[in-house]
Amino acid sequence: MVLVLFARVVAAQADPDRAVGGAGIQVKGWTGRTDRAEQKIADVKFVQMGTGYHLTSGPHAVLWNSENVATGDYTVKARMTKTPRSASTHEESYGVFMGGSDLNGPRQNYLYCVVFGTGNVMVRHRDGGDTHTLLGKTANTAASKMGERGATDEIAMWVKGGRVGCSVNGTEVFSAAAADMIGPGKLVSTNGVFGLRASHNLDIHIEGPTVTKN
């Protein structure tokens, strides 16, 4: 246990959250939250760029517009490009979340699907301070790997026919019965706010997120 804790401390010291010039959420209607109380959302830079957005971090965070709410059967998706300007020294994830509730409160709750720019994908659930892994970091040929121009993926989360799932570039990478996803320690509902999630020290261009009915 001591060795594991020491390794985590060393890793954190080796790759601290970088300072981002001109940081802050600069898109009207959007807000965000970091993973840890000692981190500041003001250290994440989120700006409008062309027809989309650009995110530079900073700490791990989720970002959302409270008007972005999905209900019933739907698909939320975003096209995200991890650029070569990303400064992390190891794998860091980015993607979309759905079913968000109490996002600014003590019982924040949402389901997220992320890629890493290495061909890996992952699905997790956040409930307050707890994180539940539904699909551990897994290699999938549908996910892109970094090249000279970065890595681009369309990440989609969906509710359809009594199931909840995630697809990357049109390929399903995870699904489960919706009824099994809701309850104590799980999602409050598949209805809720949707938005973006990114780990630290990333530089990402984003088209979306958008929602369509299934």
Please, which residues have CB within 8 angstroms of residue 112's CB and are 6 or more apart in sequence?
62, 95, 96, 97, 98, 123, 124, 125, 126, 157, 197
DSSP tally for the chain: helices H, then strands E? 1, 15
Helix (H, G, I), strand (E, B) or coil at 35: coil
The pLDDT of residue 13 is above 60: no
User: So what's the pLDDT on residue 87?
Assistant: 77
User: So what's the pLDDT on residue 17?
Assistant: 83
What is the pLDDT averaged over residues 115-132? Answer: 96
The pLDDT of residue 30 is above 70: yes
The pLDDT of residue 5 is above 70: no
| pLDDT tens digits, 61-94 | 999 999 999 999 999 999 999 999 887 777 899 9
Q: Report residue 3's pLDDT band, with 50, 70 and 90 as the boundaries.
A: very low
Please, what sign has the CA dihedral across residues 64, 37, 104, 164? positive
Nearest CA to 193 out of 93, 88, 70, 77 is that of: 70
